[in-house]
């Protein structure tokens, strides 16, 4: 058994155990996740990712460990934009806080499958058609520019193709009863508004993956590093959502930092055949952009309050 195969097995075991504990043991019943609980699980997932990174360093070497860490930081930073969108989606459908964890839980399950497909397709395209690197680079720069200067995002679920498809073929109830996605109405199974919310969340993750997967592919083409860093970030996204939801107004400039990261990673892909930007320098730019945007947001928020 090779070292890479050993790490795949270790990753699968860790994810399976933590997946069951987080989503089906501690959070089996729908309930509102408070700040302290969200903070605890955020620390757990970040700590677990760092421990796994140490394992990558020990088994696969420092270069792979640096790739994993950089990919993980990129995914976590890009996840912040997901959180803003999730807040707007839940607000649009008027989903109570107690029911939001179930939607995010099944959203994560769908993301685990979709990200794996996107990663395999993305790596396959780059290996077969090298010019796809430039396509991905342009997409990232465009997305970063749009995020920085496109104004506030708006959510219009009524225009979502998947929502239209569901409405066309599946009866929809006007109200949700409990945390059920489906219920019987006059002897006919119908979807509840919670299911529509899940459809919008899942389709939104497809859009996020179009940005996040190419961003990590700018760091490495190793399927193990790309997928494992992606999944660790996604699994921690649920608790991070509830942690930041309480203080989201303090990070008004965080999206600007994320847009800088996207533009930088896109430029890195476009210049890959001209100049090789060291991974350490890339990591410094990413962390620097995040740090500056967070500090600026906090300082300006305090100034406004005064």
pLDDT at 128: 82
Does residue 146 carry a pLDDT above 60? yes
> Who wins on pLDDT, 31 or 119?
119
Report strand pairing: 188-191 vs 182-185: antiparallel
Helix (H) or strand (E) holding 119: helix 100-128
pTM value is: 0.82
- Cα 262 to Cα 147: distance, rounded to the nearest angstrom: 9
Q: How high is the mean pLDDT of the chain? A: 81
Does residue 165 carry a pLDDT above 90? no
- Cα 57 to Cα 235: distance, rounded to the nearest angstrom: 21
User: By mean pLDDT, which of 12-21, 93-102, 147-156, 159-168 is the weakest?
Assistant: 147-156
| Confidence category of residue 48, pLDDT binned at 50, 70, 90 | very high
How far, in Å, are 76, 186, 303 from residue 286 at the CA level? 11, 55, 26
- Cα 19 to Cα 306: distance, rounded to the nearest angstrom: 43
Tokens encoding 102? 């179930």
pLDDT at 47: 92
CA torsion, points 96, 102, 116, 150, in degrees to nearest 10? 0
| Confidence category of residue 159, pLDDT binned at 50, 70, 90 | confident
Q: Which residues pair with 172 in a beta bridge?
A: 191
Q: Which residues pair with 185 in a beta bridge?
A: 188
Interval 184-222: pLDDT, tens: 777 788 888 888 888 888 887 777 777 778 888 888 888
Interval 248-264: pLDDT, tens: 666 667 778 888 888 88
> Who wins on pLDDT, 53 or 120?
53
Does residue 239 carry a pLDDT above 90? no
């Amino acid at each position: 058994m090779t070292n890479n195969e050993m790490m795949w097995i270790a990753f699968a075991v860790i994810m399976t155990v933590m997946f069951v504990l987080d989503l089906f043991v501690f959070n089996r019943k729908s309930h509102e996740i408070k700040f302290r609980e969200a903070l605890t699980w955020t620390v757990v997932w970040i700590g677990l990712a760092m421990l796994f990174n140490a394992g990558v360093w020990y088994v696969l070497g420092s270069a792979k460990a640096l790739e994993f860490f950089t990919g993980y930081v990129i995914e976590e930073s890009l996840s912040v934009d997901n959180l803003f969108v999730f807040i707007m989606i839940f607000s649009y459908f008027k989903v109570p806080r107690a029911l939001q964890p179930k939607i995010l839980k099944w959203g994560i399950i769908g993301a685990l499958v979709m990200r794996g497909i996107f990663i395999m397709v993305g790596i396959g395209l780059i290996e077969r058609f090298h010019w796809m690197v430039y396509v991905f680079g342009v997409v990232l720069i465009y997305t970063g520019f749009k995020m920085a200067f496109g104004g506030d995002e708006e959510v219009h679920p009524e225009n979502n193709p998947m929502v239209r498809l569901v409405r066309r073929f599946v009866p929809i109830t006007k109200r949700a009863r409990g945390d059920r996605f489906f219920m019987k109405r006059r002897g006919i199974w119908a979807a509840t508004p919670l299911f529509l919310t899940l459809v919008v969340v899942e389709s939104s993750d497809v859009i996020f993956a179009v940005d996040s997967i190419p961003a990590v592919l700018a760091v490495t083409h190793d399927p193990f590093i790309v997928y494992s860093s992606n999944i660790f970030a996604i699994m921690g996204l649920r608790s991070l959502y509830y942690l930041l939801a309480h203080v989201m107004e303090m990070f008004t400039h965080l999206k600007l930092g994320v847009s800088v990261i996207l533009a930088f990673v896109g430029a890195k892909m476009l210049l890959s055949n001209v100049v090789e930007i060291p991974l350490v320098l890339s990591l410094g730019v990413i962390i620097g952009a995040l740090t500056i945007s967070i500090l600026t947001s906090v300082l300006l928020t305090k100034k406004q309050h005064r």
